[in-house]
């Protein structure tokens, strides 16, 4: 397989000249190719089969112990002007970045196979989708891209028809942490990654393309590329609404995307259209419509069990690639809080010992096709996408933020999104448990200056009167003893129901300085046995805490200087004034 696209053919040849691979393989995305790659990796010792009776067609990959998470401090946005990257990104001049990377790439594929991976982010026939080509020396990347994207022949055909694509060059190099960089060149729609085999650093269609590069494309073209799940909810009356929601890592995003209604709401149906990324475009009627650019899940596995997320737990019992989990004596995958079995080996391949730390790495992963999810919706392949009724922001806050509140307007909602804060997790290297500001859950992923990003969000209210309502949720309020005040999981449907009712104009709310909160009877919690005082604390605010929050947030906004949009300053002043 080759290509009729001369620019693509020339780029592949240039990369081959630089990296000097032993051979070049153009990937077609077929099942037969997947099986060949799996067999090759088993021969190389980089992939091992798991128990075929309990987990058919499942495999385990163990990373280098120093290559287990995103490396935000080694991730750069390389724009001509440093201000275009913004203080929210690490910046390097494009010429300097290319010289550094080309030095690393020089001869790096000697003795290796170079794989050319054409892929489409989003349904192949959707006008909202965008294509890319990743060149890599990692068969692990190839099999993951097969599950995560629309990869191969059909994607290449679209590239040849359109002529445009994002260029992604990746090599695992020596897996040396001191020779590891992920460079993005949004002005050229290209990515260079070296020295890592870990998911987001190596699967360039995911965070690198679908968020960092796509967010730049989206601003230029008038749409949004967001770190959001897409969820469909069908009421017993047959009404369907779609919600897009942004949460930082480890804030219940996958659980919400695959929410299972509690017994009281068993007549509701939930459809999972995406668990991580949403591309939002405006249609001819001014309605925001969303597609999921991905075709699979690359999820954090610890904590997943039949109670916390039954759909996710069941879908990874077959046809799944596990990365950095432990194994049981009979070779089943094992991770902390699985609730079944006992570990015999840890994620480094050593005999398990509790003194050596967890059996599964806290950021261990599963990769699986979205079609394995019993809540999968065929509308994930709909070229026109789905209409979004509500956009939800949230974070993990022990106090301050109530269970749910609604923005007073789109512009106010942008302020709420810009103010998202949460605790850091194992998905990124560095300290765990530190609260940091993570606007729209996009801090690690926005490919340009946050001030310009917020201006782009604000521009939508000038283009249409038909925008979704914006909400904020916090499932993680705790008491002084560290106990969660809200049951969460499937019970979150009660909160989503209130949001839908608000979108339809069917539910009352109480206006406060920060937005509209549910009235005492607004959310049905009668059967949850929540103490009335606890319930009041969940649906009310502490003005003193919020005054401090808005003061701190104001300092954060000021750090963006003159580029900060005046509309956002006005929204911040209005909330601060309302708090007194």
Cβ distance 26 to 1 under 8 Å? Answer: yes
Helix 214-221, helix 450-459: angle, nearest 10: 40
From CA 159, how far away is CA 517, in angstroms rounded?
47
Q: What is the DSSP string of 523-558?
A: S--GGGT--HHHHHHHT---HHHHHHHHHHHHHHHH
From CA 207, how far away is CA 216, in angstroms rounded?
13
Length of the chain: 580
> By three-state DSSP, how is residue 484 classified?
strand
Cβ distance 166 to 191 under 8 Å? Answer: yes
User: Tokens representing 332?
Assistant: 């089943």
Catalytic residue among 27, 251, 446, 503: 251
Tracing tokens 């006992």 back to the chain, one arrives at: 342
Helix (H) or strand (E) holding 144: helix 139-148
From CA 388, how far away is CA 121, in angstroms rounded?
19
From CA 523, how far away is CA 539, in angstroms rounded?
10
From CA 151, how far away is CA 142, in angstroms rounded?
9
Question: Does the annotation count 251 as an active-site position?
Answer: yes
Q: Is 360 left (phi over 0), alpha (psi -120 to 50) or beta?
A: beta
From CA 364, how far away is CA 325, in angstroms rounded?
6
From CA 39, how far away is CA 475, in angstroms rounded?
43
Q: Could you tell me whether strands 435-437 and 421-423 are parallel, antiparallel, or unpaired per DSSP bridges?
A: antiparallel
From CA 217, how far away is CA 209, in angstroms rounded?
10
From CA 408, how far away is CA 471, in angstroms rounded?
9
Bridge partner list, 136: 115
Cβ distance 224 to 279 under 8 Å? Answer: yes
Residues annotated as catalytic (active site), given as ranges: 251
């Amino acid at each position: 397989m080759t290509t009729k696209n001369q620019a693509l053919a020339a780029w592949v040849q240039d990369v081959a000249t630089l990296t000097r691979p032993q051979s070049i393989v153009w990937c077609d995305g077929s099942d037969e190719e997947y099986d060949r790659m799996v067999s090759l990796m088993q021969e190389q010792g980089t992939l091992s089969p798991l128990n075929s009776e309990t987990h058919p067609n499942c495999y385990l990959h163990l990373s280098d112990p120093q290559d287990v998470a995103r490396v935000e401090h080694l991730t750069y946005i390389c724009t001509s002007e440093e201000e275009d990257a913004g203080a929210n990104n690490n910046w390097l001049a494009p010429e300097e970045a290319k010289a550094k990377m080309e030095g690393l790439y020089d001869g790096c594929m000697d003795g290796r196979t170079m794989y050319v991976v054409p892929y489409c982010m989003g349904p192949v026939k959707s006008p909202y989708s965008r294509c890319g080509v990743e060149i890599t020396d990692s068969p692990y990347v190839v099999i993951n891209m097969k599950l995560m994207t629309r990869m191969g022949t059909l994607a290449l055909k679209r590239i040849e028809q359109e002529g445009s694509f994002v260029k992604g060059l990746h090599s695992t190099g020596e897996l040396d942490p001191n020779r590891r960089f992920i460079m993005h060149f949004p002005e050229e729609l290209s990515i260079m990654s070296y020295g890592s085999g870990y998911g987001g650093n190596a699967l360039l269609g995911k965070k690198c393309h679908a968020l960092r590069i796509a967010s730049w494309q989206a601003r230029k073209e008038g749409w949004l590329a967001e770190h959001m799940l897409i969820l469909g909810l069908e009421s017993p009356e047959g009404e369907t609404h779609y919600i897009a929601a942004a949460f930082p890592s480890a804030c219940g995003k996958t659980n919400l995307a695959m929410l299972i209604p509690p017994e009281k709401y068993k007549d509701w149906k939930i459809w999972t259209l995406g668990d991580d990324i949403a591309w939002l475009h405006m249609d001819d009627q001014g309605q925001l419509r969303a597609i999921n650019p991905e075709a699979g899940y690359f999820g954090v596995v610890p904590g997943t069990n039949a109670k916390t997320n039954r759909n996710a737990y069941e879908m990874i019992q077959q046809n799944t690639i596990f990365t950095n989990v432990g194994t049981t004596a009979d070779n089943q995958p094992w991770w902390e809080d699985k609730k079944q079995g006992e570990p015999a080996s840890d994620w480094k391949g050593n005999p398990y010992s509790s003194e050596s730390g967890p059996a599964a790495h806290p950021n261990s992963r599963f990769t699986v096709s979205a079609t394995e999810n019993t809540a999968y919706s065929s509308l994930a392949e709909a070229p026109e996408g789905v209409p979004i009724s509500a956009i939800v922001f949230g974070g993990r806050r022990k106090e301050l933020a109530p269970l749910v509140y609604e923005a007073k307007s789109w512009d106010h909602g942008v302020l709420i999104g810009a103010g998202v804060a949460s605790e850091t997790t194992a998905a990124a290297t560095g300290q765990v448990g530190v609260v940091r500001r993570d606007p729209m859950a996009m801090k690690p992923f926005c490919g340009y200056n946050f001030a310009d990003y917020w201006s782009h969000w604000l521009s939508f209210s000038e283009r249409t009167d038909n925008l979704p309502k914006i909400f904020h949720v916090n499932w993680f309020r705790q008491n002084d003893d560290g106990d969660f005040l809200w049951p969460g999981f499937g019970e979150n449907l009660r909160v989503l129901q209130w949001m839908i009712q608000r979108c339809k104009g069917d539910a009352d709310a109480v206006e406060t300085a920060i937005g509209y909160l549910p009235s005492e009877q607004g959310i049905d919690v009668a059967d949850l046995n929540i103490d009335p005082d606890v319930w009041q604390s969940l649906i009310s605010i502490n003005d003193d805490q919020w005054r401090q929050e808005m003061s701190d947030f104001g300092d954060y906004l000021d750090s963006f200087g003159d580029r900060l949009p005046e509309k956002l300053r006005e929204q911040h002043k209005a909330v601060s004034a309302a708090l007194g």
